[in-house]
Amino acid sequence: MVVSEVVPVVAVLGRGVVDAADPVLTADDLGLTRGDGCFDSARVVTAPSGAARVVDLDEHLARLAASAAAMAIDPPTHEQWRHLVTQALAAWSTPGEAVLKLLLTRGREWRPSGSTAIVTITHRGPALPTTRGGAHTPPRSITAVTLSRGHPSDAFTDAPWLLGGIKTLSYAVNAAATREARRRGADDVIFTTTDGFALDGPTSGLVVARDGVLTSTPTGATGILESVTVAAILEAARGDGLGAAYDLVPVPDLYTADAVWLVSSGRGPVLVTVLDGRALRVDDDLAAKVSRYAGF
C-alpha cells in the first residue's frame, strides 16, 4: 500500500487532471463490478528541477494495448494515452521515484460509454541510489514465502479466456497472497504451480541465478505476466557474457540458487534473502550487476 504525503496526480480521459479525492468511476463501471479491465505500471523519475520522465513508456503502452486486445476492450489510441500522460506529468513535480499507472476498464454497464481510461502518478520516495558508474550500494532485499497459485504449469495452454499473461484489474488473489505473506512474517510471495514449479510474485517477475545463468519463468502456458524489466535484465545479462533463459524452475531449486530476485518496473530487482524461513545465498557482485542491467 502506497500511503504517501505527496498528493498523487489523477488524470481521466475526457476530463483531464482532477483532484485525487474526486470520484471518477460510476457504480456500474465494469472495472469495479467485475474487475473487467487491465492496467500497466511504469517508472517515473523526476529530477530535482521537477522535470519528470516516464521510463519505457512505449513498451508499457504496447503491453497495455495487447492486454486490451486480448480482453476485447476498445482502448484509447497511443496518442490519447500519451496526451493523458503528458497532462499528468505536467501536474507532477516531486523529485525522486514515482509510479505511473495506466488503468483501462471496459466502461459502463448500464449505457454505452466506451472504455474508461485513467492515469495516476504516486510518489515512491527519494531517487534510488544507482550502481551505475561503479558505485557499490548494498542490494535491497526482502523475505518471501512460496504459495500455491492453484493451477498446473500448463493450465493456460489453449485457454485464452483464463486471461493468462494479462495485467487485468482482477488482482484480489494477488492482494490476498501478499496479506498471507505478511501473516507469515514475510514481505512477499513466490507463487508455485500444483506440479511443483516457481511462477512469479503477486506484483513482480522472478529471476533465479545458478552457475552463471539467469533464468526466468516462461510466459504462455504458465499464465504469468511478461515483465518489461525481467526482459531487460536477461537481455543485458546476455550482452554481458552471462547465460539467460526462460525455463521452469523447480521449487526446490530456489533454496539452492546463487541468488533469487523479484523484479518490477517500479522498484527494480529486489533480492530475496529468506524464502519460507530458509536463508538464501546472496552474491553481492551479481546483485550489483543485475541492478545495473535493470537500470537501477
Give contact residues for a copy of itself (rule: CB under 8 A): 1-4, 8, 10, 12, 20-37, 39, 71-72, 101, 103, 105-106, 109-112, 118, 120, 122, 147-152, 155-156, 159-163, 168-177, 179-180, 194, 223
Measure the CA dihedral 173/183/122/174, to 10°.
Answer: -10
Edge-to-edge order in the sheet of strand 96-105? 16-18, 9-12, 116-125, 96-105, 37-46, 52-54
In whole angstroms, what is the distance from residue 229 CA to residue 56 CA?
10
In whole angstroms, the minimum distance from the beta carbon of 12 to a copy of itself comes to: 8
Please say which residue, 20 or 279, places its beta carbon nearer to a copy of itself: 20
Please say which residue, 107 or 205, places its beta carbon nearer to a copy of itself: 107
In whole angstroms, what is the distance from residue 241 CA to residue 72 CA?
41
Please say which residue, 169 or 236, places its beta carbon nearer to a copy of itself: 169
In whole angstroms, the minimum distance from the beta carbon of 244 to a copy of itself comes to: 28
C-alpha cell at 108: 459502463
Please say which residue, 33 or 273, places its beta carbon nearer to a copy of itself: 33
Please say which residue, 150 or 212, places its beta carbon nearer to a copy of itself: 150
In whole angstroms, the minimum distance from the beta carbon of 63 to a copy of itself comes to: 16
In whole angstroms, the minimum distance from the beta carbon of 242 to a copy of itself comes to: 34
In whole angstroms, the minimum distance from the beta carbon of 41 to a copy of itself comes to: 10
